[in-house]
Structure 1
Amino acid sequence: MRVVFAGTPAAAVPSLQRLAASAHEVALVVTRPDAPLGRKRVLTPSPVAHAAAELGLPVHKTARLDDDATAAVMATRPDLGVIVAYGGLVREPLLSGPGHGWVNLHFSLLPRWRGAAPVQHTIIAGDTVTGAGVFQLTTGLDTGEILGELRYDIPPGATAADVLDALAHRGAYLLENVVTAIGDGTAHPRPQTGDPTSAPKLTQDDARLRWDESAEQVLARWRGTTPEPGAYTTIDGARLKVLAAAPADSDLPLAPGRFGQDGERLLVGTGTEPVVLERVQPAGKPAMAAADWWRGLRVDEPVAGS
């Protein structure tokens, strides 16, 4: 089949590479425009745009799937549209333009975690099993019929980046199989079942660690917001990024947000047992070992979250 692929971040790249290596033809790649990155704010192509260039595929860059994007897509006479984390909505008439419509690779077990940040919300909520699914795109938010699905056991300690990378690669094979089944006429769509939950884009407040929660919840929030938007706490009003944290396995009595040392380890109290801060980044400074940051701190009786 002739396929149009829409995607933007690194998580979409394995799917593009898989389809480009398959028997299907990727007629056009749609991605968001170059964005300023780094301290110098250098305009940089999206990971999907970079991968498409390496594959020699035509690219259409657009911030939204408007009339111009619709014209560019439909000029390729596609059999199917495929979207993986593009970052924008597909509306009519583009939605029904390709012969088989559009399918979406989504990184959760729908209808759980419909929305822009399913992996992050999965981990923050403490789920131990997640997955990926390919569904028929409709006008509703992630509501279409499921065409294929896989399950994935979340490894202990895995961050959102770890889980998303695993699902991106596993999901690429699932997507290829679904596209082939659609072309062969052997796809078997089924309605979503169960209670939906919402996974909106994370805010900075979502990334703020709440030390009165249990250690398990604190670490789940840290894992779910690492690396984006980046877990943090505050010390005397100054933001401290928490780059690495872990269970403490310590019975040192610490009130929520209070610091303590266990040998060379820096501990913080939670609503239950303490957790270990391993690596942090103070505002305006480079990343460093948490114990080194603690030794250089010039605040009397600091409290995390203050």
Structure 2
Amino acid sequence: MNKDLRIVFMGTPEFAVASLELLVREGWNVVAVVTAQDKPQGRGRQAKPSPVKAFAEAHQLPVLQPPNLKSEAFLETLRDFRADLQVVVAFRMLPEVVWSMPEKGTFNLHASLLPDYRGAAPINWVLMNGESKTGLTTFFLQQEIDTGSILFQEEEAILPEDNAGTLHDRLMHKGASLVLRTVAGIASGNVRPQPQDSSRAIHTAPKIHKETCEIDWNQPARQLHNQIRGLSPYPGAWCRLGTTTCKLYHSHLVEQTKEALKPGEFSTDYKTYLHFQTGKGLLAITDLQLAGKKRMDISAFLRGNAATLQTLRVQ
């Protein structure tokens, strides 16, 4: 195995840091890191580095932050690093002039069992669709997104209590090990890329938008429960509650009561439970956040909002 293999790593969020950290810790020759530009964050709107940049700088790795991946200045700098291999984890779409540059190619880590759940948000969508398993795939990049030849895959069970946050964290660490295995396989020549069977691309995983997150109480309770867990803790499913909006972070299914409610109406004892009627069944909300307020468990929420909820029930 040749650990002198020159690697350029491309990634931005925390999900990518685990892979970069493991490559560095295991002694692989990461010669440069490409990541997003610093973005204004917080109340002061001060520019802050991406998690990948923060890690790279802490380990004295050269960092590139191109505003344009096709600019000649960036391409010239990238060529100067003479990469044998490029590793991509949670980064934007690359132009062919970039992914075709290294002799040994460019591979990507994707958080699903490709070809199923191609797209930007596979972790969210497998949960929203109520899947019982998902996984990870490394594959060589080609022109169409998420369609290149598969290198390695690993399955991961989805637990009933999982949300997007817990599944993200497990896949992040398991994905780092898969990246390490893939780099080692490519370095030793022990890989057999397999073309994707597009007939198995049953689901897609498009980017999450605000309308994706809105609760439609006419839908069945189980579907809404999966929507909530698939969007928790970020960006968060939401509904309208009176004149304000409310984010919903945790729920569970409950047996139907005899009370006649229409979808979107709720029952509560103002102390311990808040049950919403859906198109089929009741859904208990146990963790939520009113716009402009702190996130609260259901008991704290009911203590502070009993008067408002009484008004809403009268309407």
Compute the TM-score of the two structures, normalised by the length of structure 2. 0.90
* Partner in structure 1 of residue 84 of structure 2: 79
Structure 2: 5+ residue runs without aligned partners?
Answer: none
Q: Deviations over 1:190-220 (max 9, x none)?
A: 1112332321110001011121111111111
* Partner in structure 1 of residue 236 of structure 2: 230
Describe how 1:179-258 pairs up with structure 2 within 5 A.
179-193=183-197, 194-196=199-201, 197-249=203-255, 251=257, 253=259, 254-258=261-265
Identical columns (%): 34
Tell me which moved more, 2-11 or 189-198.
189-198
Question: Helix, strand or coil for the counterpart of 1:217?
Answer: helix
Tell me which moved more, 231-240 or 292-301.
292-301
- Deviation of residue 287 (structure 1)? 2.4
Tell me which moved more, 182-191 or 258-267.
258-267
**Distance between the aligned counterparts of 1:287 and 1:227, measured in 2?**
11
Structure 1: 5+ residue runs without aligned partners?
Answer: none
Quick one: which amino acid aligns to residue 245 of structure 2? R
Say what the alpha-carbon RMSD is for the aligned residues. Answer: 2.0
Answer yes or no: is 1:274 the counterpart of 2:265: no
Q: Deviations over 1:56-98 (max 9, x none)?
A: 2111112442223322221110010010011x22113222111
Contact 1:65 1:89 in 2 (8 A): no
- Deviation of residue 23 (structure 1)? 3.6
Contact 2:221 2:278 in 1 (8 A): yes
Quick one: which amino acid aligns to residue 209 of structure 2? T
Contact 1:251 1:273 in 2 (8 A): no
**Distance between the aligned counterparts of 1:252 and 1:279, measured in 2?**
24
**Distance between the aligned counterparts of 1:135 and 1:82, measured in 2?**
10
- Deviation of residue 233 (structure 1)? 0.2
Describe how 1:16-95 pairs up with structure 2 within 5 A.
16-67=20-71, 68-86=73-91, 88-95=92-99
Describe how 1:42-191 pairs up with structure 2 within 5 A.
42-67=46-71, 68-86=73-91, 88-191=92-195
- Deviation of residue 299 (structure 1)? 6.4
**Distance between the aligned counterparts of 2:243 and 2:212, measured in 1?**
17
Tell me which moved more, 117-126 or 62-71.
62-71
- Deviation of residue 286 (structure 1)? 2.4
- Deviation of residue 236 (structure 1)? 2.9
Match for residue 293 of structure 2 among 285, 297, 301: 285
**Distance between the aligned counterparts of 1:31 and 1:59, measured in 2?**
7
**Distance between the aligned counterparts of 1:72 and 1:46, measured in 2?**
20
Contact 1:7 1:48 in 2 (8 A): yes
Compute the TM-score of the two structures, normalised by the length of structure 1. 0.93
**Distance between the aligned counterparts of 2:171 and 2:33, measured in 1?**
21
Taking structure 1 as reference, are residues 192 and 214 closer, same or farther at Cα in structure 2, changes over 3 Å only? same
Quick one: which amino acid aligns to residue 79 of structure 1? D
- Deviation of residue 8 (structure 1)? 0.4
Question: Helix, strand or coil for the counterpart of 2:308?
Answer: coil
Quick one: which amino acid aligns to residue 271 of structure 1? G
**Distance between the aligned counterparts of 1:252 and 1:31, measured in 2?**
55
**Distance between the aligned counterparts of 1:249 and 1:70, measured in 2?**
60
- Deviation of residue 302 (structure 1)? 4.5
Taking structure 1 as reference, are residues 125 and 245 closer, same or farther at Cα in structure 2, changes over 3 Å only? same
* Partner in structure 2 of residue 259 of structure 1: 266
Question: Helix, strand or coil for the counterpart of 1:167?
Answer: helix
